[in-house]
Structure 1
Amino acid sequence: MMIAVPRESAEGETRVAATPETVKKFIALGAQVAVESGAGLSASIADADYAAVGARVGDAASVLAGAQIVLGVQGPDPTHLTGVAPGAWVVAGLDPFGQRARIDAYAAAGLEALAMEFMPRITRAQSMDILSSQSNLAGYKAVVDAAGVYGRAFPMMMTAAGTISAAKAFVMGVGVAGLQAIATARRLGAQVSATDVRSATKEQIQSLGAKPIFVESVAGIEGEGSGGYATEMSEDYQKAQAELVSGHIAKQDIVITTALIPGRAAPRLISDAQIASMKPGSVIFDLAVSQGGNVEGSVADRIVERHGVKIMGWTNTAARLPADASALFSRNLYNFLSAFWDKEKGAPVLDEEIGGAIRLTQGGAVVHPRLLA
């Protein structure tokens, strides 16, 4: 079994899909691993580090020649995959809804595309979940970057010259990224509050020492979609939430928004009028900016100022921590493939529960139900 790790070609992508740690583990399973020269440089991994654990390091053509599995952080350009074995697997974050033309091209090339972001949220797949591992880092980085832009200190400080009040931080959306944002803001000394449309998250917020901000006047709405994701809410709930948030957000110094709905544009959480109600010098970090943004006026990869409030958000926040993000992402890929490794065949053999959930293309056609609807 030949596993190829090409260099990432997407602009701004600093992560790599395999580290020396996971390469060594793949080789222990009986696989051969080839890594394109320079693939790990942005994540502080030298070619010599891969060679030292037994990988073959070379140019793109030699790495891909005969490869049966191609690992990626983002889906590689299908035109760059010439020379791979017929029916080779492409295992990566493939952005199926945003990159449909690329998925069609994988099918036309006879490749089997496996979208890691479609990994089902079940107990045995937790260690394979790239969305969770990368969102965890993104939530941390959002708070750290917001703190860097905020012109004041986070913790309360009592000095001989007087007392500095603690910053007030508000996290909107309490998934993996939101929970890490809460924890990080708390570690930095901020007074933290948080909200979510899913009522079950209230206890999670409190367990981290933050104050839950929830709509109580609209009964019977849980906000829990399939797989633990949030779902779209009724008009009554959206109106009640907007009123609650408007009163709360005006008092905040830092706001982190994290709300995403799979396969749809990010929900709008903060309007221009709400931004105008905030204190000058406040900071909003929009973690959903790559999917249209939770914040009116947010611009991907730029810091903009509206009404004296700085609004920021990166297209690829996890990639701003390339070494740690690569370590976690590569372990997700290894955990996935090794869980299905058949020692007799010397290759992974997928079951239907997970294989059917993440397989986008097979036998020259697009086969995933969510892409055929």
Structure 2
Amino acid sequence: MNDFLQIQSVSIQLGLFADHMDVSYVDSLPLTHASLYGKNQVPSIVVIDENGYYRLLVSKFLKNSEKKLAIIRGMIYADFYRRNQYMKNTKRFRHSLDIQSYREKYGASEVDRLNEAFEAVAFLCLQGHGNVYDYVVENQHNLLPWQKRLGQEIKVRKRQQSIIHSTSLLREGWASIKQTEILSNVLSKKDAIEATLLFSQMNQRPTGIRLHELGKTLLQQLSEAEIIQAVETLTDEELIHHAYTKSVHERENISIMFTKEKHLDDYEIVKIFLIHLSNLDLYPILEVDRVKTKETGELTVYYQARDIHRNAYFQQLRLYLQQIWGEKVFIKPKK
């Protein structure tokens, strides 16, 4: 029995919903919204195809013990996705985006260029109603049918990822709590030591919020029955409201860096920041000037930004928007 099947068997015996899934070893993990908390802090991710089948993606460059830890956490991710009521809503957004088939039909360089622009704009425009990305994909009539279809497929994936993001702390906290049960059943003493060292290194990242550590700490403020209820029914925003206490704040020592000189570590400010980050409310409010855009054919976007956004952010967004729009793009502060 290989590592994946052994870990899956143990996970199911321990009561996790880890059936009907397989594993793929990949060169690199795709960018996810978890990177908003800092560098990509997860050793594996789970994707759900259009048929509801779970596929675990693990980096092929990990050591054996690291791969086992990545598979273990992936099993728990799948269990979480099947438990949490908000993650169950991703069923509405199941899809299969096959970039390779686009490359074969329309040319690798053109598809890669457009895909990069679509992905970047979808990631940088993280609002729901009136989203700039939606407007551009739906109203740029110069896009060819296949280009518009690619944009729509990426839009569906973006919606799924935003739901996944809204439960990141719950997912990582649940995985950190449950992984100990599986580790003791599947790892040799040598592998267990190596896995412990790996997890320790994950906890010592110099920048960003330690998702797994903060999520675990928040869940541990609850009783065992409340943890199950939280995993099944809450979003990160609700968990933070309930469990991010002053004692948790002091232990986690989180501060917000608005500029190189300006750091804020007040409990209430950090708590509000975490709530905004969990529901993607930190990003600037972007609004298309539809009248001006229709009159000139040039895309004009106004923004309301917070202190943390710099000119480079809007310059990067403008360049990607211009690749999709095909005409001049203007991004201006709203007066």
TM category, shorter = under 0.3
Scaled by the length of structure 1, the TM-score of the pair is: 0.25
Judging by fraction of residues, say which structure has more strand: 1
